[in-house]
Structure 1
Amino acid sequence: MVKKLYEYRLALQHGGARQGLIVEWDGNFGEIAPLPNFSSETLDEAKKEALLWLRNNTPPTLPSVRFGIACAKRPLRSLRLPLASLGMKAGFSTVKLKIGHLSAREAISYVKEHLGKAHLRLDCNRKWSLEESLFFADHFQRDDFAYLEEPVEPSSLVAFSQITHFPIALDESIHRDWATIPSLKAIVVKPTIIGSLPQVPSRYDLVLSSSYESGLGLLHIASLAEMGIPVGLDTYSALKEDLLIEPIRCSQGYFSWNATHPPIDTSKLSQC
């Protein structure tokens, strides 16, 4: 059985770099890429644990390491999935609009420009007060959006839900008291952050989202999605370069990739 661990560093479009690890298991590859300021572990901590697994077969406990090793046990296949676009783009039926950086009044005008053009998911990123969120909600109907993601700070979620009954999506890594949110519709899951897929009650939609992984990590997340469920993987556009030999294509509302073996260019990696 061949097991190896590599390091990578990929340039980003707007400066800086994304760093992570690639684990190889008998010709299959998985990605270990804790996200700075969001993951519970650092890259150094993940590397130490991955090396313990590599040398001693010590079971991993850190989320990004568990996810990366689990992915390395599965061969990748060609994929074609509906994609949720970040921003309005031709061909996309599901569009995510980030509005938390706007005032509620600015967001009202911005969102109204896009009503009816696509199935909208709105990401407020917990930036608004309850008062601001209620002001925004007063200008729309509940069925105008698929959901509002993190519309207010956590302490005001229950009140916002009870007052507006607008569909809400929550990040699983931040919120656990799902039953207290009466209009909760979707649970947003970032596998790199939590390590695996949680048990989500059938009354909620499961939404898979990326954490700025390389193309390899995005492919593994996409492979977890059931056909017909849009996946939030538009962070791929943040990469200036990638490890994949065959690039991912995001066009006309679809995320597609043609499998190659191996899937990545190992000459871009440094073995640990």
Structure 2
Amino acid sequence: MKLAGANFYRYSLPCAHPLELRGATIDRRTGIVVAIHGDGAAVGYGEIAPLPQFSVETLDEALASARRCIQFLERRAGASPATRAALRDREPFPPSVRFGIECALWNLAAQSNAKSPADLLAESPATRVPVNALITTSGAAAADAAESAAHNGYTAIKLKVGRVAIESDLESVRGIRRAIGEGVEIRLDANRSWSFDDALEFARRVADCEIAYIEEPIDEPHRLDEFAARSPIPIAVDETLQDAGWARLHEWRQAEFLDPFAHVPADADPLLRAILAARAWVVKPTLVGMPLTYLAHLLTKQRRIDADLVISSSFESGLGLVALANLAACAGDGALPAGLDTAAWFGGDVLDAPLPIVSGAIDLAGANAIAARFSPDGLEEVAND
């Protein structure tokens, strides 16, 4: 595929609700939109938005890396014009850069083939992508929010825990279960807030509330496999995947350690053991850097792991959310609720309309139609150095 250059545009979105990220308060979300030009008038857009306090790379570092990435792709396309432009699995670009560049190339290829992005990676993608309702309050407010979400068709609730006293979190979980009854999934996310013993006590005391999993329950990730063996509630990994990084995950994949029923050495990396002990992987491509094709293969079961895969947002703009929705749709009609209920945190967007969430699910065709109208005209173009 011939590439005809790229442009970069900076965005800055006000937060409708301040983002509390590892002790820092963020009132604006900033990022870069990359526009990759193909043959003719085709343009593919992607979003590069390192998340403060979580991403290793800064926005300026990501921009510089993205420029180098485009140069590599242009040279490669010039040498092999018949080959589809793509990043190779082991190329060491920062996670946010890989996500943004791959999304732009994915979008460009979809246009060239007159398909939606999801149709390009999966034979029978879902037309509706369920999402979990994100709740960050506690007590009666959390129960009210969960009841409203269930009434509006959401089939999964994600509650942030570990920010208040354990007794308060216990009451929040019980109040939510009473409010929504059976049939709606409850997911908990502790963001490594608890000690091993406190997390285990919490898990035992809410075991009767039918919890799907607790995400990153303890502040000692190297003990997650031990915790999983003792907890009555399954665990999910998020930050642990980020700590491992794509380079190590790729090595473990090549060694077949991530495959179901794999034989793992007794002296294996504690992070590998933690990942293998998880019921679910909560994957935020902006932060973990997994190639989109690998994730699509997991979602379509062309490759298998012994865990559920939950695609999740790192508070991207609507442009990034549409890309993530297309990725999650690759799982087909059995797609698990994705962690994409984040648009309400912003007081504006780069898209001209909010994503259509109806009965707790994103209408993919509607979302793609909105993304297709995107224009960078209102954004600040970043000049070449």
TM-score (norm 1): 0.89
Deviations 1:66-114 (A, max 9, x none): 1111100123749631111113113111110111112222222111112
The residue type equivalent to 2:12 in the other structure is R
Which residue in the other structure is 1:25 paired with?
36
- Per the TM alignment, residue 210 of structure 1 is displaced from its structure 2 partner at its CA by 0.8
Query: Do the aligned residues in 1 keep the contact of 2:322 with 2:371 (CA within 8 Å)?
Result: no
Q: Distance in 1 between matches of 2:8 and 2:275?
A: 42
Which residue in the other structure is 2:190 paired with?
124
Match of 2:375 among 250, 265, 271: 265
Q: Distance in 2 between matches of 1:184 and 1:210?
A: 19
Which residue in the other structure is 1:140 paired with?
206
Q: CA 1:258–1:51 in structure 2 vs 1: closer, same or farther (change >3 Å)?
A: closer
- Per the TM alignment, residue 164 of structure 1 is displaced from its structure 2 partner at its CA by 2.0
Moved more, 164-173 or 197-206: 197-206
Which residue in the other structure is 2:101 paired with?
69
**Does the residue aligned with 2:176 lie in a helix, a strand or coil?**
coil
Query: Do the aligned residues in 1 keep the contact of 2:207 with 2:232 (CA within 8 Å)?
Result: no
Q: Distance in 2 between matches of 1:49 and 1:150?
A: 30
Matched, 1:162 2:229: yes
**Does the residue aligned with 1:174 lie in a helix, a strand or coil?**
helix
Query: Do the aligned residues in 1 keep the contact of 2:54 with 2:287 (CA within 8 Å)?
Result: yes
Q: CA 1:4–1:120 in structure 2 vs 1: closer, same or farther (change >3 Å)?
A: same
Query: Do the aligned residues in 2 keep the contact of 1:124 with 1:148 (CA within 8 Å)?
Result: yes
- Per the TM alignment, residue 49 of structure 1 is displaced from its structure 2 partner at its CA by 1.8
Q: CA 1:48–1:252 in structure 2 vs 1: closer, same or farther (change >3 Å)?
A: same
Sequence identity of aligned pairs in percent? 37
Which residue in the other structure is 1:177 paired with?
271
The residue type equivalent to 1:160 in the other structure is F
Match of 1:12 among 12, 15, 28: 15
Deviations 1:107-140 (A, max 9, x none): 2211111223420101111111222222212223
Q: CA 1:14–1:137 in structure 2 vs 1: closer, same or farther (change >3 Å)?
A: closer
Query: Do the aligned residues in 2 keep the contact of 1:162 with 1:182 (CA within 8 Å)?
Result: no
Q: Distance in 1 between matches of 2:47 and 2:371?
A: 16
- Per the TM alignment, residue 250 of structure 1 is displaced from its structure 2 partner at its CA by 2.7
Match of 1:210 among 313, 325, 334: 313
The residue type equivalent to 1:193 in the other structure is L
Q: Distance in 1 between matches of 2:275 and 2:54?
A: 24
Query: Do the aligned residues in 2 keep the contact of 1:161 with 1:181 (CA within 8 Å)?
Result: no
- Per the TM alignment, residue 246 of structure 1 is displaced from its structure 2 partner at its CA by 3.5
Question: Relative to total residues, which structure has the larger helix share, 1 or 2?
Answer: 2
Q: Which runs of 5+ in 2 are unaligned?
A: 19-26, 38-42, 76-86, 111-115, 118-126, 136-145, 245-269, 299-303
Q: CA 1:244–1:137 in structure 2 vs 1: closer, same or farther (change >3 Å)?
A: same
Q: Which runs of 5+ in 1 are unaligned?
A: none
Q: Distance in 2 between matches of 1:138 and 1:47?
A: 46
Matched, 1:103 2:165: yes
Query: Do the aligned residues in 2 keep the contact of 1:142 with 1:165 (CA within 8 Å)?
Result: no
Matched, 1:149 2:215: yes
Question: Relative to total residues, which structure has the larger strand share, 1 or 2?
Answer: 1
Q: Which structure is larger by alpha-carbon Rg, 1 or 2?
A: 2
Q: Distance in 1 between matches of 2:205 and 2:360?
A: 28
- Per the TM alignment, residue 230 of structure 1 is displaced from its structure 2 partner at its CA by 1.1
Q: Distance in 1 between matches of 2:106 and 2:373?
A: 12
The residue type equivalent to 1:174 in the other structure is D
Deviations 1:50-78 (A, max 9, x none): 22344564777222111111100123749
Residues paired across the two proteins, number: 272
Moved more, 56-65 or 240-249: 56-65
Deviations 1:184-231 (A, max 9, x none): 201111101122246775211111111111100111111111232211
Q: Distance in 1 between matches of 2:320 and 2:105?
A: 13
Q: Distance in 1 between matches of 2:274 and 2:169?
A: 27
Q: Distance in 2 between matches of 1:143 and 1:108?
A: 10
**Does the residue aligned with 1:86 lie in a helix, a strand or coil?**
strand
Runs of 4+ in 1 over 6 A off after TM superposition: none
The residue type equivalent to 1:80 in the other structure is R
Matched, 1:43 2:68: no
Query: Do the aligned residues in 1 keep the contact of 2:222 with 2:274 (CA within 8 Å)?
Result: no
Q: CA 1:260–1:149 in structure 2 vs 1: closer, same or farther (change >3 Å)?
A: closer
Q: CA 1:141–1:54 in structure 2 vs 1: closer, same or farther (change >3 Å)?
A: closer
Query: Do the aligned residues in 2 keep the contact of 1:13 with 1:240 (CA within 8 Å)?
Result: yes
**Aligned CA-pair RMSD:** 2.5
